[in-house]
Structure 1
Amino acid sequence: MKKFFTLFLLFIGLVTYAQSDDNPIVVETTTEKISDTEYDLIFNIQIAEDWHLYSQFNPEDASLPMTISPAEGETGFAVSGKATESETETEFSEIWGKDEIFFVDEAKLVQRITVSDPSLTKVILNLDAQVCKEYCLPFDEDFSFSLNGETVEHTVAEVDEKSQNLSQTLNLDLKNTILLKSSTDVGGENEGEEKSLLNIFILGFVGGLLAFLTPCVFPMVPLTVSFFTKKSEKKSGGIGSALLYGFFIVLIYGLLSLPFHYLDTLDPEILNNISTNVWLNIFFFVVLLIFAGSFFGFYELTLPSSWSNKADSASGIGGFIGTFFMALTLAIVSFSCTGPILGSLLAGSLTSTGGAMQLSAGMIGFGAALALPFALFAMFPGWLNSLPKSGGWLNTVKVVLGFLELAFAFKFLSNADLVGHWGILKREIFIGIWALIAFLMALYLFGFIGKKYGKISFFRILLGIAALGVAVYLAPGVMQKPAWNQNQLLSGFAPPKFHSIYQQDNMCPLNLNCFKDFEEGVAYAKSVNKPILLDFTGWACVNCRKMEETIWSQPDVYNMINDKYVLISLYVDDHQKQLPVEEQFDFIKANGKVKRIRTYGDKWATLQVANFKNASQPYYVLMSPDLEILNSAQQYTDHSTYLNWLKTGFDRFNN
């Protein structure tokens, strides 16, 4: 289990680093001449706060040790053993079961080399290392050192003539761009973000309430409340301690989201690339299957017992510190029940639109729901008498959560299928799987399968009827040529309706006529003299599907798009479909870094960021065929706002 979490965090770090422009260490180099044939090449490294850099002497079967070697193709010199290092720190790792050696804040490495070629004036060394905090990032760069005292100039990013020419096609000659930054647009985005954060907070709160009703948490309420009420001489003291305990629970779960805020400081496309990465979605699919199995009782997932033992012993200190470690003990010992719910919340919050803030909102909501009962029962101990006794119903709750985890897992497999263009999990198959899961949940609740854990209660029968109702609601979704408004509650979760096992008119939303290439769409718009609806979307974009299936499907909006506009839908996560070799090129971004444009997803994501300074989806822009902006950009919104936005843009085009 320990290795599982380590690999998970390292996997997040690797995907992050692959798309990032930043790194938590900064390296400066100098050279000292020792003799005519010997030189000391010095790395002075500054390490960001809370990060640590592993030493060359870290154990081989632990976190990756640093290596220094001649860069590829470098000849005429040799390194003399390992570099000497400045002061390091040593700490026992419970994950690897041994001491690890690393640098904190800063590091100085002195690598001696012996030169065999007298004409050599410059050498290049490769520094390969691993830098970590809650997750790890690889660091692999070449550094140049001067041997004759002359300054070694850093290479300025350059691209060939082909790349320069193709890059120009991504820098659009937009006109009237002031509309993109209108005050109404900014206000709309802020309002949408606030609504999204509130929604994810509520979802996290609901998840916390579900976690409270599990066998790992519910039985702890009387014990914890009794501890606080008996420990304090005055009732007010016990209430104060219990409220502080609840606050620390919220704080601990909120702190768990902080590492992911680092992602917001990286490339603006990073969250989109992570959330739509094929292999990461498969990874989440497997993880949620494992979580579901733990809820079904096949095995139990726990954190290392030493963690809970240390936290529990520290809770006896008393005061603020003791109360904090009591809250930490609860978080650790209840992990087997709360972990799967938190894992689902983590996976669902890694989106391109405010993922870190959404995750924090969800974690805080989860912690608040978990802490609230403890605080309330401490304030009103008499309420404990009204609590139902622990029993089989808690296990029933846990199994039901297992079915929900199982259903949620297939959402991530669907994302991978859509982005990878595999075509194995079509919409009807996905809905059929969900209908089967709902039907099996109903059978379990009615007592036909699985353990009954006592008598079948009336409430359990009601839940079974609800689950059966969900199965009946989903069943028509597997039939041929469903109505466009069928199963609308699944919008954003199920694959798009054109991703079907049945023959479709085209692969565009709602069978609208659309272009998936910007240049082709603009050329057609010029030929018919119609304005353009530029739709930055994604195969795995939940809000994109919701907009298409709940807003675009409305007759007035549908007719407006179909009759008045030329729709250009650009899928920014289409990283499996390669551009023709002659169309692949290097693009120099605003920060001077070079990005290789290999896929259609690379091209459209870069087009969006370079011209509209935005990397979230859905993102809609209205423009004329001559690239004149007609209205403020629009994102996820309601029906009336979107319809008025379309009408305003069309009126401006006509005028």
Structure 2
Amino acid sequence: MLVASFSGLNAQFVNPVKWTVALDMTDGNKGEIVMTADILSGWHMYSNEVDPDIGPTPLSVDWSKLEGVTLEGKLTADKVSHKEFDEMFGANLSWWTERVVIKQAFVAGSDHYAVAGTIRFSACNDQNCIPPQKETFEFTGFAKGGADDVAETTADTDAAALVEKPFANVADEKSDTDAGIWEPVDFSGTEKAENTDTTSMWYIFITCFIGGFVALLTPCVWPMIPLTVSFFLKKGKSRARSVADAFIYGISIIAIYLLLGLLITALFGASSLNALSTSAVCNIIFFLLLVVFAISFFGAFDIKLPSSWANKMDSTAERTTGLLSIFFMAFTLTLVSFSCTGPIIGTLLVEAASTGDKFGPAVGMFGFSLALAIPFCLFAMFPSWLQSAPKSGGWMNTVKVVLGFVELALSLKFLSVADLAYGWHILDREVFLALWIVIFTLLGLYLLGKFNFSHYGPANGSIGTFRFFLSMISLSFAIYLVPGLWGAPLKGVSAFVPPLYTQDFNLYGGVFKEYDDYEEGMKAAAAEGKPVFIDFSGYGCVNCRKMEGAVLDNPDVRTMIEDNFVVIKLMVDEKKKLPVPETVTENGKNVVLETYGDRWSYLQRYKFQANAQPYYVVLDPSGRLLSGPFSYDENIPRFTEFLETGMKNFSK
């Protein structure tokens, strides 16, 4: 047997969720089915709040037997699921980690009862996902006389047991050739891939921090810096006292915006923020809101708070003294500058809320206010810097117009979410890209001084060097987007543009044929005399899409696969029914394979002793291992080496 081990996912069966199911009679004829999931560290199990049409398989319970029993209410969990926005699906996903207890209440209508069901669930970590799994349970008992036949069931499917006692092979009823390609392979010597942790909090903080610096450059904020710092320096009895006042002023700005973020969280709550981010209606509102902000920045109108608010804060600052006076001065700045900072804050809060994290708005506002506060403190410490700081002028209006174009481009992202949810197909990928190309081309022409908005006066053909280079960046970005109209991956903006499957015209797709049936693909490989590249994937596998975009769609990788391999792509969550259900023995239990997804998941478990996706192996047409396994790793040279190893061993 030709076997070549390669650094990737260790050849092991992943069992990240262990279930314990018990029946608890709480009061006479009332009881609960208590389902406890112990989740392996680093993994998360998707909750029952996940939309099954959007992404991973949500938690559910199919009740196969309810004799003498009536269910009361819905499934309830002992803790709230974590919610996080996923760019790949354009919606929020929710999951649990560590341990969660799910309960289903019921009433027994007679002395004797019987309850049986199947828990369906899926789980992922930062690199892999397991296919949809099933855990069955059954209880019988007596409502009033005591439970004489009530037993606790435990999901005990550890990897060692699976390896020591292989599954009953569905290939037993097939031909010898088919049975051969189902034979388990040996993965001795392989290494396990490393985990990587990511977080959205740093993304929110950095994004809002940059937004705060951009807000500094607007005509509502920048002129206030020298005025405020000069006020503190003149008012203070000593320079040390003036610097201290400026620090307090900066801290007051941070406190005000931080309170704003906390207020939004308190008003809406984490669950409501999740609803905002996933609701198509709310995303339409966000789209319209950002368009209004963009029009405001273009000079059509100003978004202002009532002037009486600013006047009241200003008079309050004059009447008070000490720290309170400085705080009200900071509040006055916040209100006066709202016409410029309001649209920026609104955009950043929408982006922070779209993560679904309860701390997102607070973290975002902290980053934004920190960027606003830093200049006041620095200029108070080093007042000589004020002499070299740029003076107020028309360049600040340019900043507002540039922000208007950016707001307009970002608004399409939210409209795209609603378009995908409702299936309108009015903003498919090429339409989205066409609008972006127009927006950034117009931005480049504006920066070159080819036109201006009437509110800001006539166009100025004479521009500075910095503005010239900005126009080059904008026009170059527009040109970069053009190949996307014909299906180019555009990995640099893949998180913003609609998915590639919405593309109507794609010259880049369909480079090689992919078989979706294992036996059919292996027969084709034998006929063509080529090795087999097998891709275990899933419709709800986020990391599978990332690998496709970052590695498999790379032109060199695609060409290598097209020229040298027969490709078999098996979706472990495929819902298409098998012509005839197949029964296998797995870990001492009879398991019925009802769908093609069940079958391909079983193939991965039986032949490769693994059940996480993405998962890649190279076989010969007889089903013997040539290279792999390879899991989630966006290192193209390593993936290329994995393919080359398979080709080299096949040539032997």
Q: 2:258 aligns with which of 245, 254, 262?
A: 254
Q: Displacement of 1:279 after TM fit?
A: 1.0
Which residue is equivalent to 1:172?
Answer: 134
Change (3 A) 1:237 1:304: same
Q: 2:216 aligns with which of 204, 208, 212?
A: 212
Secondary structure of 1:424 counterpart: coil
* 1:223 corresponds to 2:227: yes
Which residue is equivalent to 2:314?
Answer: 312
Secondary structure of 2:233 counterpart: helix
What amino acid sits opposite 2:358 in the alignment?
A
* 1:434 corresponds to 2:436: yes
Distance in 1 separating the partners of 2:448 and 2:498: 30
Which residue is equivalent to 1:473?
Answer: 480
Q: Displacement of 1:225 after TM fit?
A: 0.6
Q: Displacement of 1:567 after TM fit?
A: 5.0
Which residue is equivalent to 1:549?
Answer: 549
Larger strand proportion of the pair: 2
Change (3 A) 1:504 1:457: closer
* 1:233 corresponds to 2:237: yes
Q: Displacement of 1:214 after TM fit?
A: 0.4
* 1:278 corresponds to 2:280: yes
What amino acid sits opposite 1:247 in the alignment?
I
Q: Displacement of 1:343 after TM fit?
A: 1.6
- Gap runs ≥5 in structure 1: 1-154, 179-183, 516-520, 572-578, 580-603, 605-619
Change (3 A) 1:496 1:431: same
What amino acid sits opposite 1:549 in the alignment?
G
Question: Is the 8 Å Cα contact of residues 352 and 360 (structure 2) preserved in structure 1?
Answer: yes
What amino acid sits opposite 1:475 in the alignment?
V
Which residue is equivalent to 1:295?
Answer: 297
Which residue is equivalent to 1:584?
Answer: none
Distance in 2 separating the partners of 1:544 and 1:309: 56
What amino acid sits opposite 1:330 in the alignment?
L
Q: 1:383 aligns with which of 372, 376, 385?
A: 385
Q: Displacement of 1:340 after TM fit?
A: 1.2
- What whole-Å deviation, never above 9, does each CA across 1:606-651 have from its counterpart, x for those lacking one? xxxxxxxxxxxxxx9x9737997656999x986249979x99xxx9
Secondary structure of 1:303 counterpart: coil
Question: Is the 8 Å Cα contact of residues 426 and 499 (structure 1) preserved in structure 2?
Answer: yes
Matches within 5 A, 1:147-162: 156=105
Matches within 5 A, 1:6-45: none
Q: Displacement of 1:522 after TM fit?
A: 12
Change (3 A) 1:638 1:392: farther
- What whole-Å deviation, never above 9, does each CA across 1:400-427 have from its counterpart, x for those lacking one? 1001100111111111112222211111
Which residue is equivalent to 1:137?
Answer: none
Which residue is equivalent to 1:343?
Answer: 346
Secondary structure of 1:549 counterpart: helix
Matches within 5 A, 1:102-113: none
Change (3 A) 1:177 1:212: farther
Question: Is the 8 Å Cα contact of residues 311 and 326 (structure 1) preserved in structure 2?
Answer: yes
What is the aligned length? 425
Question: Is the 8 Å Cα contact of residues 515 and 569 (structure 2) preserved in structure 1?
Answer: yes
Distance in 1 separating the partners of 2:518 and 2:348: 40
Which residue is equivalent to 1:639?
Answer: 634
Q: Which moved more, 1:319-328 or 1:559-568?
A: 559-568
Change (3 A) 1:441 1:265: closer
* 1:489 corresponds to 2:492: yes
What amino acid sits opposite 1:281 in the alignment?
N
What amino acid sits opposite 2:134 in the alignment?
L
- What whole-Å deviation, never above 9, does each CA across 1:79-115 have from its counterpart, x for those lacking one? xxxxxxxxxxxxxxxxxxxxxxxxxxxxxxxxxxxxx
Q: Displacement of 1:231 after TM fit?
A: 1.5
Distance in 2 separating the partners of 1:283 and 1:628: 48
Question: Is the 8 Å Cα contact of residues 185 and 633 (structure 1) preserved in structure 2?
Answer: no
Change (3 A) 1:350 1:157: farther
Which residue is equivalent to 2:337?
Answer: 334
Distance in 1 separating the partners of 2:158 and 2:263: 40
Which residue is equivalent to 1:610?
Answer: none
Distance in 1 separating the partners of 2:313 and 2:116: 58
Distance in 1 separating the partners of 2:291 and 2:506: 32
Change (3 A) 1:264 1:629: farther
Question: Is the 8 Å Cα contact of residues 392 and 453 (structure 1) preserved in structure 2?
Answer: no
- What whole-Å deviation, never above 9, does each CA across 1:31-87 have from its counterpart, x for those lacking one? xxxxxxxxxxxxxxxxxxxxxxxxxxxxxxxxxxxxxxxxxxxxxxxxxxxxxxxxx
What amino acid sits opposite 1:639 in the alignment?
E
Change (3 A) 1:225 1:266: closer
Matches within 5 A, 1:521-540: 532-534=536-538, 536=540
What amino acid sits opposite 1:624 in the alignment?
R
- Gap runs ≥5 in structure 2: 1-103, 122-131, 136-154, 161-191, 524-531, 577-596, 616-630, 647-652
Q: Displacement of 1:466 after TM fit?
A: 2.4
Question: Is the 8 Å Cα contact of residues 488 and 508 (structure 2) preserved in structure 1?
Answer: no
Distance in 1 separating the partners of 2:474 and 2:282: 30
Distance in 2 separating the partners of 1:356 and 1:303: 27
Q: Displacement of 1:503 after TM fit?
A: 5.9
Secondary structure of 2:549 counterpart: helix
Which residue is equivalent to 1:75?
Answer: none
Question: Is the 8 Å Cα contact of residues 537 and 570 (structure 1) preserved in structure 2?
Answer: no
Distance in 1 separating the partners of 2:301 and 2:211: 22
What TM-score, normalized by structure 2, do the two folds share?
0.54
Alpha carbon RMSD of aligned pairs, Å?
5.0
Which residue is equivalent to 1:609?
Answer: none
Secondary structure of 1:461 counterpart: helix
Q: Displacement of 1:215 after TM fit?
A: 0.8
Question: Is the 8 Å Cα contact of residues 290 and 343 (structure 2) preserved in structure 1?
Answer: yes
Which residue is equivalent to 1:322?
Answer: 325
Question: Is the 8 Å Cα contact of residues 248 and 324 (structure 1) preserved in structure 2?
Answer: yes
Distance in 2 separating the partners of 1:549 and 1:202: 25
Q: Displacement of 1:312 after TM fit?
A: 2.3
Question: Is the 8 Å Cα contact of residues 290 and 411 (structure 2) preserved in structure 1?
Answer: yes
Distance in 1 separating the partners of 2:207 and 2:332: 24
Distance in 2 separating the partners of 1:360 and 1:172: 39
Secondary structure of 2:540 counterpart: strand
Question: Is the 8 Å Cα contact of residues 297 and 404 (structure 2) preserved in structure 1?
Answer: yes
Matches within 5 A, 1:397-436: 397-436=399-438
Secondary structure of 2:405 counterpart: helix
Matches within 5 A, 1:45-124: none
Which residue is equivalent to 1:449?
Answer: 451
Question: Is the 8 Å Cα contact of residues 444 and 472 (structure 2) preserved in structure 1?
Answer: yes
Distance in 2 separating the partners of 1:285 and 1:361: 23
Q: Displacement of 1:239 after TM fit?
A: 0.3
Question: Is the 8 Å Cα contact of residues 492 and 545 (structure 1) preserved in structure 2?
Answer: no
Change (3 A) 1:336 1:368: same
Question: Is the 8 Å Cα contact of residues 314 and 328 (structure 2) preserved in structure 1?
Answer: yes
